Structure 1
Amino acid sequence: MVMSLPLPNEHVSVWRRYFLIAWSGLLLAKLLVAWRLPLFVDEAFYWQEGQHLALAYSDLPGLTAWLTRLGVEIGGPHVLALRFPFIAMAALLPWLVAKISARWFGEAAGWQAGLLTVLMPLSGTLGLLALPDVPMALATALCLDAGARLLDKVNAGRALELALGLSIGALSHYRFIGVIVIGFIALLLIKEGRRVLRDPRVLIALAIGAVAWLPLLAWNLDNGDAGLRFQMVDRHPWAFHADGISFVLVQALLVTPLLFIALVQTFILSARDRSEGASQWRYFGLLGGLSTLGFFVLGFFADNERVSFHWTIPGYLALLAAVPVVLGKWGAGWRKAMWAMLAVGLIAVVGWYAMVSVPSLRERLAAEKWYPANFAGWDKVADAVREELAAMPEGTVLLADNFKLGAELGFELQDPDIRVLDHPLNHKHGRAPQLRLWGLEGEGVLPRSGQPALLVIGTDEVRYRDLLAHYHALCDKVGPIQPSRIVNVDHGAQRFVVARFPQGIEPTNGKACSTPSMAYIDHPVVGQTLPKRFSVRGWAFRDGVGLASVEILIDGKPVAQARYGIAQPEVAAYWKISNDPQQTKVGFEADIDASGLAPGLHWLGLRLVGRDGVVADWSEQPIRIKE
């Protein structure tokens, strides 16, 4: 099928007006949300990297870290300042896509393509977070523009734009290699593209782009290929897993279903078109379609534990430049439905970020599996750390038990050199090599003998079934853990243990370990609807010390003293390494009279009092009281 190119410039002023209104409104919304939204853990680590300037890092090339440093150098230590360079880049992207589309398909098509880039949730929310996908998307758009123009005519200016795009991409992320490979394949499949690849000016541009990879190559050569091995090998199972289908479904949802159909149509129709004068049309479709299809296939074999829905953005940008051609063939009703769906989708995603930025709204998700833990609690634990450090001797060493906590505390306390203990998360996310290069991770970071220390533990960064073993491993490194403060954020959905070591750390080296309390409520279950009178049953223990009592809390207030010391041998059988002196009598139960409470949602919790007098409030769970 041969498409009629370019589209007629009908209603140009209308589409321009729609674009300007949507672009301006979204930019304002992004600035407001980015001003309030807590720092995401990856953003915090990029900030930390920016405070230790280098040409490349263990997880990424240098550009993302440099941009975070630029933001805070200009705007100060605020989340909006850190994110501003990324917001600015993302704001430029729709204009660039609009210009690309307008050049080949007409001005009306250009404003439509720009508007699609604004409204598509994946591209519309770019820049809200300081992530490498933003400069990588800009690099993709520059290469897309340069490639299309080179197909028409090769000159130095267009080759220079290609070199710029390739260089920005090389400094953004390892994944940009995929954009280069697919772009090369797309050009090879087009007659004019094969001519372009033989031109000396283009070859020089490619050489300049290749040079931009040298800092990352040098880092890997100096560090045993640690970064490359993590990105290409360690983080991926490289085995088929059927849940890759969820990747495709999530993509259709985040793109919005009707636009997703239009993008697929664009790929199919452009790939089939062999007509004269359709080189750019084919180029956009092939580059975007092959890239997206490649990531869909990769989703069945690659990492499915960490966020990956943004991987497809480069391919979508290429398709968005051409999709107005396909939309021109749709009926008016379908087009209106697609635009409406896009607007609703964007509002929903931006609204989610806005909700996460408001603590009173975020805490409503506390017991849900989609609770945004990576955005929550850092300010509160930082406040607690400030107070604890103020009460300890000068020269106290602050220790975080994982890189997330170290980076987030670092930003909140404006200290990029917080020491971090060896933790599985550091390796899982590829940050351990970088922390060790800075001298901030490993056994060597432990304070010298007798030097006071303050340890902060993120209890939710290991699975609950592994938490006791994690505590015991910490004991082997730093000694018995006597919590001085428990920080519960959003009803304990995020939970931190702060422990003082005023006399310095004293590793137990396998000897008896004292740990923070652990507990579980067997009844009622999360979200259960209960009568005015009901019972609470469960278990609780504290290794090395034991518990003196368990109180039942509702909405943070004591409502009953539980009967503690009920035999529960299955608890000791499960937690085989537990050395609580009261095992196996660690069960509790209580009868609750909630007649004084209003019907509806309430939060059930525990107050665990150790035999040494240390009090720890356990995480709360939602219950509902009947009328």
Structure 2
Amino acid sequence: MATASEQRACTTFLVLWALISGVKVLIAAYLPLFVDEAFYWQEGQHLAPAYSDLPGLTAWLTRLGVELVGNHRLGVRLPFLLLGALLPWMVVNITTRWFGARAGWQAGAFTLLMPLSATLGILAVPDVPMAIAAVLCLDAGARLLRNVDAGAVLLLALGLLVGALSHYRFIGVIVVGFIALLLLPEGRRMLRDARVWVAIAVGIVAWLPLLAWNLDNQDAGLKFQILERHPWSFHGDGLWFLLIQPLMVTPVLFAALAWVAIEGLRRGRGGFRHLQWRYFALVGTTSTLLIFLLGFFTDVERVSFHWPLPGYLALLACVPLMLNRWPRFWRRSVWAVAALGLVMALGYYVMASAPSLREQMAGSKYYPRNFAGWQPLADAVRDELAQMPAETEIVAGSFKVGSELGFRLDDAAIKVLPHELNDRHGRTAQLALWGLISDGSRTVPQLLVIAPGDQRYRDLLARYHRICALVGPLPPPRVVSTDHGFQRFLLFRLPAAKVQGPCVTPAMAWLDTPVAGAKVAGQLDVQGWAFKDGVGLARVELLVDGRSAGDAKYGRTFDVRPAWPGTSDPRHPDVGFDAQVDIAGLKPGRHWLGLRLYGQDGSVEQWMEQPFTVEK
């Protein structure tokens, strides 16, 4: 019979699991696909044993979800939501086996509250099956330390199989597991059993599709994941781990995990000597420390805060036992702060899924650009295609635009221009295999769709000139602007035959005054510059909160050519503009200053807006 404390722990877990799982499903149904998710969907539409960026499982799961539910974001994410909902039950099972039912339910509840694990499954990403694989191996290792039997061996084989099909990074989980086992006498004894090596052999075989892909493609995937993605030179950004990880785990729970690791590794003086605790502590500590140290040498451009999750899950199994030793205040603090962290993490996804909330984040460093603007873009593309010949092809400026548009238009074969983004994310080789890298040649009309924000601003003009070299002078674009222009797309109707002539690019502009977020009263002084290579600008119109505030005086001498070498606007160096805007009638608070740029070729381009605050 369960004790009263076990029943309370069970009830708490079940309520949390039902509530959080339901919230995750709702978020997943409304949150636009992240750009990587859209590419995994595209890979799922081209089924293969392995791909340039990943083994096959993530793409297969997206295809399975779409086949079951339909070509909807919830369909793409459904298998990942189910795996994410399964993970806490797996932690409950492991912890219960070794430390009792009450500890098991509590460990499962912490898995539901810790932001890194709680949000798992909202996005269709390889970390979801990889976390499942890591927990399977963790469970198998703990069982094998006590007794090598067929069930534990099969569990290990399954974990190694799923992990090998999930991500290159699972190799790190394997290395950590071997280190932990080798440090334990029981682990070394276990590794001498032939049955364990049968499971390991299954895991090795599971890597063969990925190895075969690399052999057939000049090791493009391995080179990207191991060499090209990482600088492999020391940098101090690894110290951010010490700030970011406590926030991602929540600070008090992070302290509890650290305490679990310390107690599990101690010998004597009251240290807990339970074999499984030591095993979980070794796995969690080794994993976390290795990732911390690698952070000083590896990729700093892309998100990597989720990498330590497998190690945290190992330590989480022991947290309930550790909390029994803590004062009541700190026990409650762990629960309360973890719950607050979960609310904040889910709140971010809610904000990213709601256009009105997302718009309020425009201009901040937390603006979720990779979730924004894709549906308005798809609507604009459909509208443009309806006005163009039936044989018109779509060409995207990068894999991000191509895969996101492909998902919304149900077209997994949109061609993509060469772009350094394709290279930096390891997608160029895969796009080339599909025959989706465009060299700019064409025999039918094309609709070119580019996202200027995919390029650093200082490199944007050079990017425009490279596009000109591929497709010819760019005609006046249709601008699709979302969230005050913090997500912008340019759509160009290209004729069937490539036009020869000087490069004509989209307009470039900058506001020197006021600076973003400036506080003003009575009158707004505006200064800046704008140019358009190939043809020049005719006028610059000012917008306040989307409404015209008159034209700026355009043509002041302001030479931008030292900063933009190669620019060919015929009006250089006279591309500066000035204006004074009466804002006495504006209500106090935040407002937006924008530009509408009129080209000599008839183009009209709305520029990204800039916030300013009217004081009382």
Pairing 1:527–2:512 present:
no
- Residue 5 of structure 1: aligned partner: none
Q: Which amino acid aligns with 1:622?
A: P
CA shift, 1:573, in A, is 2.5
Contact 2:277 2:318 (8 Å CA) reproduced: yes
- Residue 405 of structure 1: aligned partner: 401
- Residue 301 of structure 2: aligned partner: 305
Contact 1:567 1:587 (8 Å CA) reproduced: yes
Contact 1:447 1:453 (8 Å CA) reproduced: no
Q: Which amino acid aligns with 1:130?
A: A
Which structure 2 residues correspond to residues 181-330 of structure 1 after superposition, within 5 A? Answer: 181-273=175-267, 278-330=274-326
Contact 2:263 2:272 (8 Å CA) reproduced: no
Contact 1:520 1:539 (8 Å CA) reproduced: yes
CA shift, 1:258, in A, is 1.1
Q: Which moved more, 1:275-284 or 1:89-98?
A: 275-284
Aligned counterparts of 2:610 and 2:505: Cα–Cα separation in 1: 23
Pairing 1:105–2:99 present:
yes
SS in 2 for 1:574: coil
- Residue 489 of structure 1: aligned partner: 482
Contact 2:250 2:338 (8 Å CA) reproduced: yes
Q: Which amino acid aligns with 2:275?
A: S
Aligned counterparts of 2:488 and 2:521: Cα–Cα separation in 1: 29
Pairing 1:612–2:594 present:
no
Contact 1:483 1:497 (8 Å CA) reproduced: no
Q: Which amino acid aligns with 1:373?
A: R
Aligned counterparts of 1:416 and 1:532: Cα–Cα separation in 2: 53
Q: Which moved more, 1:607-616 or 1:128-137?
A: 607-616
CA shift, 1:447, in A, is 4.3
SS in 2 for 1:85: helix
Q: Which amino acid aligns with 1:607?
A: R
What does the per-residue CA deviation read over 1:83-134, in whole Å, with 9 as the maximum and x for residues that have no partner? 0100100100001001100110111110111011000000000001000000
Pairing 1:369–2:365 present:
yes
Q: Which moved more, 1:259-268 or 1:55-64?
A: 259-268
SS in 1 for 2:160: helix
Aligned counterparts of 2:293 and 2:319: Cα–Cα separation in 1: 22
Q: Which amino acid aligns with 2:214?
A: N
Aligned counterparts of 2:91 and 2:71: Cα–Cα separation in 1: 32
- Residue 561 of structure 2: aligned partner: 572
Q: Which amino acid aligns with 1:492?
A: G
CA shift, 1:273, in A, is 4.2
Q: Which amino acid aligns with 1:454?
A: L
Q: TM-score, normalising length from structure 1?
A: 0.96
CA shift, 1:598, in A, is 1.7
CA shift, 1:276, in A, is 10
Q: 2:614 aligned to 583, 600, 625, which one?
A: 625
What does the per-residue CA deviation read over 1:306-339, in whole Å, with 9 as the maximum and x for residues that have no partner? 0000101111111111222211111111010111
Contact 1:151 1:196 (8 Å CA) reproduced: yes
CA shift, 1:252, in A, is 1.0
Aligned counterparts of 1:77 and 1:205: Cα–Cα separation in 2: 37
- Residue 495 of structure 2: aligned partner: 502
Pairing 1:64–2:58 present:
yes
- Residue 478 of structure 1: aligned partner: 471
CA shift, 1:158, in A, is 1.2
Q: Which amino acid aligns with 1:350?
A: L
Aligned residues: CA RMSD? 1.4
- Residue 121 of structure 2: aligned partner: 127
CA shift, 1:10, in A, is 6.5
CA shift in 2, pair 1:385/1:305, >3 Å:
same
CA shift, 1:519, in A, is 0.7
Aligned counterparts of 1:409 and 1:42: Cα–Cα separation in 2: 13
Q: 2:23 aligned to 17, 29, 35, which one?
A: 29
Aligned counterparts of 2:188 and 2:477: Cα–Cα separation in 1: 68
Q: 1:461 aligned to 451, 454, 462, which one?
A: 454
Q: 2:87 aligned to 59, 84, 93, which one?
A: 93
Contact 2:40 2:58 (8 Å CA) reproduced: yes
What does the per-residue CA deviation read over 1:156-179, in whole Å, with 9 as the maximum and x for residues that have no partner? 111001100110000000111111
CA shift, 1:534, in A, is 2.0
CA shift, 1:535, in A, is 1.6
Q: How many residues align?
A: 613
SS in 2 for 1:252: helix
Q: Which segments of 5 or more consecutive residues in structure 1 lack a partner in the other structure?
A: 1-7
Which structure 2 residues correspond to residues 417-456 of structure 1 after superposition, within 5 A? Answer: 417-443=413-439, 446-449=440-443, 451-456=444-449
- Residue 561 of structure 1: aligned partner: 551
- Residue 603 of structure 1: aligned partner: 592
Contact 1:552 1:560 (8 Å CA) reproduced: yes
What does the per-residue CA deviation read over 1:294-316, in whole Å, with 9 as the maximum and x for residues that have no partner? 10111111101100001011111
Contact 2:539 2:597 (8 Å CA) reproduced: yes
Aligned counterparts of 1:161 and 1:289: Cα–Cα separation in 2: 23
Pairing 1:593–2:582 present:
yes
Q: Which amino acid aligns with 1:522?
A: D
SS in 2 for 1:309: coil
Q: 1:339 aligned to 335, 345, 359, which one?
A: 335
Pairing 1:546–2:536 present:
yes
SS in 2 for 1:243: helix
Q: Which moved more, 1:193-202 or 1:98-107?
A: 193-202
CA shift, 1:370, in A, is 2.0
- Residue 516 of structure 1: aligned partner: 506
Aligned counterparts of 2:359 and 2:522: Cα–Cα separation in 1: 25
Q: Which amino acid aligns with 2:463?
A: H
Contact 1:453 1:504 (8 Å CA) reproduced: no
CA shift in 2, pair 1:280/1:9, >3 Å:
farther
Contact 2:510 2:528 (8 Å CA) reproduced: yes
Q: 1:139 aligned to 116, 130, 133, which one?
A: 133
SS in 2 for 1:239: coil
Percent of matched pairs sharing the same residue? 58
Contact 1:436 1:442 (8 Å CA) reproduced: no
Q: Which amino acid aligns with 1:213?
A: W
Q: Which amino acid aligns with 1:330?
A: W
Aligned counterparts of 2:468 and 2:602: Cα–Cα separation in 1: 20
CA shift in 2, pair 1:407/1:512, >3 Å:
same
Aligned counterparts of 1:252 and 1:131: Cα–Cα separation in 2: 23
Pairing 1:150–2:144 present:
yes
Contact 2:395 2:448 (8 Å CA) reproduced: yes
What does the per-residue CA deviation read over 1:274-298, in whole Å, with 9 as the maximum and x for residues that have no partner? 8997221111110111011110111
